[in-house]
Structure 1
Amino acid sequence: MRILSLVFLFSFIAAKGQDAILKDSITQLEEVILIDALKAKNATGITPSDVISAKIFQSYSPVDLVSAMNQIPGVYILSGALNTNRITIRGIGARTLFGTDKLRMYYNEIPVTNGTGTSTLESYDLENLSQIEIIKGPKGTVYGANLGGAILLTPKEALGKSINLRNNFTVGSFNMIKNNLSFNHQDDVFSLNLQYGHLQTNGFRENNNFERDGFLLNTAYQINEKNTISLLINHVDYTAQIPSSLGATAFAEDPKQATFTWRASQGYETNNQTLVGISLAHEFNQNFKNTTSVFYSYLDKYEARPFGILDEMTNGYGFRTKFSSSLEVFNKTSQITFGGELYKDEYDWDEYENLYQDNNGNGSLEGAQFARNKEYRNQLNGFATFLFPFTNVLSTQVGLSVNKTKFNLQDRFNEGNDNKSSEKSFKAILLPSIELNYHPNTTNEFFANISRGYSNPSLERTLTPDGLVNPDLKQETGVNYEIGTNLRLVDNNLNIGLALYQMNINNLLIREQVGDDQFIEKNAGKSKHQGLELGLDYSLIHTPEFNLNPFINYTLNYHSFVDFVDNGNDYSGNEVTGVPKNRVTAGLQTRIFNHFYLNLIAQHIGKIPITDANDVYSDASTVFNLRSGYQKKISNKFSLGIDFGINNLTDKVFAQSVLINTQGFGGNEPRYYYPGNARNYYASFSIGYSL
């Protein structure tokens, strides 16, 4: 009934077309002309994608990247804390317990997914991004054809000829302080964006402190008419306490509490990571271009867990090159794109006993070492697409991606035991895609896609409980079928986005818990992911004095196990674990005299099956967020902005993330739930100066 109430309350709705009044709704500090004022797709050719730009960001707290992404149909992030996020796209990745896998993530076209397939969205500051583009499913040939799809992060940069300085300062509940300082310069041949951000908060729960500092340098220099060189440096350093998940009883009694062992050990993690990339864009001629990037990434992570302390270090490096060309085929101007990327990293991880019980209540204490490992992880992706227009309104695009993955694990704690060092090399896998696009006019389109995708098991999960690589473990593969449309009707005031899809997954990878924080991975059958994604956005009133824009985004997931037997239990026909059947985001966005705005957003999450047997579900929940502000240019050089927001307006107790199929050990109940924040407030003050 709640879903129906939301649908009837906001009868016009959306995700695809929220740029209808974009120019009136973003970058109110008028001299700061940034790319976050635009929605520019990076997906190749006619590949469908969704773009989250500044208009969506403006509805949420500058800390709340998760809610902004959850506004997109088909995308759902389960967030246990600022440092604990799990991105799922069309149900892919929902069965992963911790972190995000089964997709590829790029930052300014540089791959930032590590060698084992893990991506960390929490490493990037929302205020440093101009937009996020999401390709749902394996149709992103140029971006790896992963089953979950691809996420493309674009950092801010200046447009036009301008020099400006801006600072945004935010305070909020739970002793939250956030500051973002940016300097932007743009002229005919040189651009520079420099940003520094700081965030600290005590968090809603016990043992939930978080502190992060980040630095971004994004600069480009046009050497001549044919060559432009770019440099990207992104550095993040954060420390986060970990309250962990709660069982049903503890969650009902007091959602603020931390799990006993994590509270007693004062569990935490520290992350120090840097990404450096250099890119050269070269124009051979008007019809033939290339962009090549070389990059290096570094991660130093230390995690104090009650069952053991993990000390990690990762050094990653590689390159990515993409050629694009226009050519005449059968008297039609066609486009071809081809290239490849190589990613290699070296991962060192050591484990130590945690002697917190002997530390007089002072938390974690490093004890004797019991594991020392080194991994070498290699991924090679090649890709090519060919776009051919049959007519002025009908086009097709065919693509082919190839992936080769190789893992090597060396147990350096038991170096005398040859069986403890092992290698896993997957056969090269071919991933074709075909797209059709019919656009009868400049505002409407219809599309269809068939594409094949894959996902790798992580290296650690390829091991048996004895520490040996499972030679029978296979990659997940699947075929995606999709049709959809994007329409603009009613004098371009009504935007409709609709997609229907079915993805059939083979060699389904599941994780089985065999001990406290000990898991193994295995293939266990097939699943079928069917869904409907709908976005409607209506510019109800659009005048210089007043804008009123209602919207609603709806996701219907019908994801089920087709053939799934695990430990003698047959779960065939059950709902896929970790995926809500219904999700709704609805809202009203208003603007008065282009200076004052008020946005009210409701996000509804249906109940989620937590066990493969479907005998435990999380409760459905609806959370309301409100944000308003006033922003005005007060002189030729200065502009000011004031923003105020309330998250969880009705103070709803809800689970913002769940762990699936977890087990209780030592007589304890399973810990399924990560509580969401109680009602909280924030306010921001921004000032901009333009030279």
Structure 2
Amino acid sequence: MKLSLYSLTFILLLGLAPVAMAQTSLTVIDDESGEAIPSVVITMDNGDRYLTDDNGQVSLELSAHTKALFTHIAYEATRKTIAPNTPTDIRLTKKANQLSEVVISSFESERYLMEQAAAVSKIDQEALYRFNETSIVNAFNTKSGIRFEERAPGSYRVSIRGSSLRAPFGVRNVKIYWDGIPFTAPDGTTALNILDLSNIEGAEIIKGPAGSIYGAGNGGVISFTPGKINQNKAETSVSGGSYGLLKYRVAVDQMIENGSLSASYVKQQSDGYRDHSALDRGVFQLQGRFEPSDKQRITTQLLYSDLFYEIPGGLTEEQMNANPRQARPGSAEQNASINQESLYGTLVHDYRFNKKWSNHTAVYLQTTDFENPFNLDYKRETQYGYGARTKFQLNDRWGKFPVRLLFGGEYQFANTSAQNFGNREGRADTIRFADDLITTQGFLFQQIEINWTNDLLMTLGLSENFSRYDINRTVDASAGDPYAAERNFDPVIVPRIGLSAQLTDYSSVYGSISSGFSPPTIDEVRTNEGSINLDLEAEKGTNYEVGYRAEFLNGNVQLDASAFFFKLDETITTYTNPQGVVLFRNAGATDQKGLEAQLDYILLSNPAGWIQQLKMGHAYSFHHFRFKDYINDGEDFSGNALTGVPQNNLVNRLDLTSRTGLYLNLTYQWVDEIPLTDDNAIYQDPYHLMNARLGWRKNFGSTWQMEIYGGTDNLLDQRYSLGNDLNAFGGRYYQPAADRNFYGGVKVKMLY
């Protein structure tokens, strides 16, 4: 069959004709309110970009199913598949930018921050990534009443309202949870430095004692949340900076039927600002989330951390002025350092029996190998432990009043084999003493929340706590014979009462009275020179607090302020013997009065403009903390300022986000003078700290995302110590922080 010239021409033109495009109408709405969202940027796979109008609508020309990325300054980014010629509503989840929208779950009961009768701060992912991504220190220091210290890379201390007084090293007197798992060991210490920033998506911090549901710890509670998986993605990042900094990360998230899987590995190395202050850390995390049914959810985590960092040691004022980068004489020769391998396995199970009853249960297994050569000795420890926490919750009505009832318990066990040797040029020498240590702690808790009216919420909490140390000394080179010691702390009942009253839809007041206690940690009872101090008593305190929260100008101005009075008895303080060993003693009592305020406001918000958002924030703390009835070796320190706590602390933040992807984060912090000795004879000078980060984010189609950033820490080149050694023998108080330094990095993410 032959084709005519006309027929052939028609077929060729038909083949070259464009595929018919169908008009597709989209409406983007708020997932909660259903209101239309204008100025949403829609990025197609081919790179085309569209903007929704004032009614949240846009019209697209599509020939086939297409994936698109929806972004807006006030909403979570979402990737959706769009069908051609099909009117579709796209629902976006709003970011919690206002006090009335922030949900707090730290009291085991999800409620809006406006309803909470306690001083609680929340740190989201945006706040964590305003700085250099090598540690969590700077982000936490933007909150009033909270001070993270880093004496050297990887060497953390945490102070919530002055609680680091008894922590010459490590994290103590603060209870820490990670994904609902007790991350603080039963002996009261926390290896916070085994976590990388990428293992954390956000955090909630309860300031002051919250023992009614969390047991021991007068300082407060930090609850870390790991990242949530809501889409398939692969990402990688690399960054570097001053003093040999290098960090890289690879991660994959995969959605599966009724769940998700994710895996990540991150490596961080640096030479450190000071001599003998290098860091090398690798962290692997494997996470799974499964929903076998509508009633239950299972979450599993496997976390492996391999951490090594060098300890440069404290300097005298003369040494610091001569050369702040030097290490304490002998630290390098003795290889003063920490080498720690940790493995955590966790399982969390949530089950909803019916509309009223639910249960949350978490269990973990943990092992640690720890090696610590120091200037004066050489320590080795091997530990394994396990623990569990369970909570039952009832949502019901008591007569005409809505009631929420919670009750449950927590138990932890750890067995540690610890040996202390002499240190001969960085190698373990003759054994001095060895102990088998068993630590247990547990408590039961009950809490009831009653809405007496729509605007008045009362919370009553109670816990019954116990803890025990068993020390079996198998080797004692000085005394010769082995022996055993034990310490049972009397059961402690810890109550809490709180009232929260809603004044308007956008303001509330609260008041609370809460008790707390904190037994000495095993490192305070069993010290490095071999003594066992069984006479050390637990700290006990009561906190009285009132607060006010409010929003103004449609949520663009937010205020969170509180005043408190904390009475602490049997306060544990540190001192150093002539050999340089840190020891502990009870110091009578302290009175801690304070004011704290957080003020945040949005200066400009225009999602369609070049500057999409410009906002500022301020955090101020006034801590009038004083020793009371503190007499030591005939010296009366009563009335002196509490050691290690600045009286004033001010933080200012400025954040700018543009439509082109450029962003700027500026932070300025002023820290008042800090007393370094109980007699207040030595102070660290006040200092001004400024940090800046400039970056650019870009979406390439709906699949690829890139971020390039750089920044400067200590922009003003201040000489200061971010973590001093208190009451140090020989005047070695100072751990100089880095001078002006720089960093930069690249992140690439693929959504699939």
TM-score by length of 2: 0.84
Distance 2:668 2:710 in 1: 17
Change (3 A) 1:27 1:367: farther
Pick from 131, 156, 163: which aligns with 1:85?
A: 156
Does 1:503 find its partner at 2:574? no
Paired position in structure 2 for 1:274? 343
Q: What are the within-5 Å matches in structure 2 for residues 375-524 of structure 1? A: 375-414=437-476, 420-462=483-525, 469-524=532-587
Contact 1:220 1:228 in 2 (8 A): yes
Deviates further, 606-615 or 48-57 = 48-57
Using the TM superposition, give the Cα deviation of residue 660 of structure 1 relative to its aligned residue in structure 2, in angstroms: 0.8
Change (3 A) 1:440 1:275: same
Change (3 A) 1:241 1:586: same
Distance 1:399 1:521 in 2: 32
Q: Deviations over 1:3-50 (max 9, x none)?
A: xxxxxxxxxxxxxxxxxx99627977979x999966652222435321
Amino acid at match of 2:587: A
Q: Deviations over 1:479-523 (max 9, x none)?
A: 000111121102210011101111000111223322434343332
Unaligned 5+ residue runs, structure 2? 1-39, 41-70, 81-90, 97-101, 110-115
Distance 1:466 1:131 in 2: 39
Does 1:64 find its partner at 2:125? no
Change (3 A) 1:82 1:639: same
Rg comparison, structure with higher value? 2
Q: What are the within-5 Å matches in structure 2 for residues 290-305 of structure 1? A: 290-305=359-374
Distance 1:572 1:105 in 2: 32
Pick from 649, 674, 680: which aligns with 2:715?
A: 649
Amino acid at match of 1:638: W
Contact 1:86 1:94 in 2 (8 A): no
Change (3 A) 1:413 1:296: same
Pick from 553, 568, 572: which aligns with 2:634?
A: 568
Does 1:675 find its partner at 2:736? yes
Amino acid at match of 1:92: S
Contact 1:373 1:409 in 2 (8 A): yes
Paired position in structure 1 for 2:86? none
Paired position in structure 1 for 2:432? 370
Q: What are the within-5 Å matches in structure 2 for residues 153-232 of structure 1? A: 153-159=224-230, 162-186=231-255, 189-232=258-301
User: Per the alignment, in what secondary structure is the counterpart of residue 94 of structure 1?
Assistant: helix
Q: Deviations over 1:626-681 (max 9, x none)?
A: 001110111121111111111111211111111111112xxxxx200011111111
Does 1:243 find its partner at 2:312? yes
Change (3 A) 1:42 1:594: farther
Deviates further, 576-585 or 517-526 = 517-526
User: Per the alignment, in what secondary structure is the counterpart of residue 426 of structure 1?
Assistant: strand
Contact 1:95 1:578 in 2 (8 A): no
Amino acid at match of 1:569: E
Change (3 A) 1:515 1:350: farther
Contact 1:578 1:610 in 2 (8 A): yes
Does 1:24 find its partner at 2:95? no
Paired position in structure 1 for 2:184? 113
Contact 1:556 1:581 in 2 (8 A): yes
Using the TM superposition, give the Cα deviation of residue 263 of structure 1 relative to its aligned residue in structure 2, in angstroms: 2.2
Contact 1:420 1:468 in 2 (8 A): no
Distance 1:274 1:641 in 2: 32
Distance 1:464 1:100 in 2: 16
Does 1:346 find its partner at 2:415? yes
Amino acid at match of 2:385: G
Paired position in structure 2 for 1:13? none
User: Per the alignment, in what secondary structure is the counterpart of residue 556 of structure 1?
Assistant: strand
Distance 1:191 1:444 in 2: 39
Amino acid at match of 1:618: Q
Q: Deviations over 1:283-334 (max 9, x none)?
A: 1111100011111111111111121111111111011101111121122121
Distance 2:562 2:122 in 1: 15
Distance 1:657 1:34 in 2: 43
Distance 2:565 2:420 in 1: 42
Pick from 585, 605, 608: which aligns with 2:674?
A: 608
Amino acid at match of 1:354: N
Amino acid at match of 1:633: N
Pick from 331, 340, 361: which aligns with 2:400?
A: 331
Amino acid at match of 1:550: M
Contact 1:424 1:469 in 2 (8 A): no
Amino acid at match of 2:619: N
Pick from 593, 596, 611: which aligns with 1:530?
A: 593
Paired position in structure 1 for 2:32? none
Paired position in structure 2 for 1:73? 144
Paired position in structure 2 for 1:589? 655
Residues paired across the two proteins, number = 656
Paired position in structure 2 for 1:134? 205
Contact 2:200 2:226 in 1 (8 A): yes
Amino acid at match of 1:87: V
Distance 1:254 1:34 in 2: 55
Pick from 252, 272, 287: which aligns with 2:321?
A: 252
Change (3 A) 1:40 1:120: farther
Distance 1:519 1:503 in 2: 26
Using the TM superposition, give the Cα deviation of residue 138 of structure 1 relative to its aligned residue in structure 2, in angstroms: 1.1
Using the TM superposition, give the Cα deviation of residue 540 of structure 1 relative to its aligned residue in structure 2, in angstroms: 0.7
Amino acid at match of 2:388: F
Does 1:102 find its partner at 2:173? yes
User: Per the alignment, in what secondary structure is the counterpart of residue 673 of structure 1?
Assistant: coil
Paired position in structure 1 for 2:390? 321
Using the TM superposition, give the Cα deviation of residue 559 of structure 1 relative to its aligned residue in structure 2, in angstroms: 0.2
Contact 1:292 1:319 in 2 (8 A): yes
Amino acid at match of 2:701: S
Q: Deviations over 1:545-589 (max 9, x none)?
A: 221111111111100011111111110000000000011110211
Contact 2:473 2:482 in 1 (8 A): no
Distance 1:346 1:170 in 2: 39
Using the TM superposition, give the Cα deviation of residue 187 of structure 1 relative to its aligned residue in structure 2, in angstroms: 5.5
Amino acid at match of 2:475: F
Larger RCO (alpha carbons 8 Å, 6+ apart): 1
User: Per the alignment, in what secondary structure is the counterpart of residue 573 of structure 1?
Assistant: coil
Pick from 610, 618, 622: which aligns with 1:552?
A: 618
Contact 2:78 2:92 in 1 (8 A): no
Change (3 A) 1:445 1:57: same
Amino acid at match of 2:635: N
Change (3 A) 1:350 1:466: closer
Contact 1:244 1:259 in 2 (8 A): yes
Deviates further, 575-584 or 144-153 = 144-153
Distance 1:599 1:25 in 2: 17
Paired position in structure 2 for 1:690? 751
Instruction: Report % sequence identity.
Output: 25
Paired position in structure 1 for 2:664? 598
Distance 1:62 1:137 in 2: 28
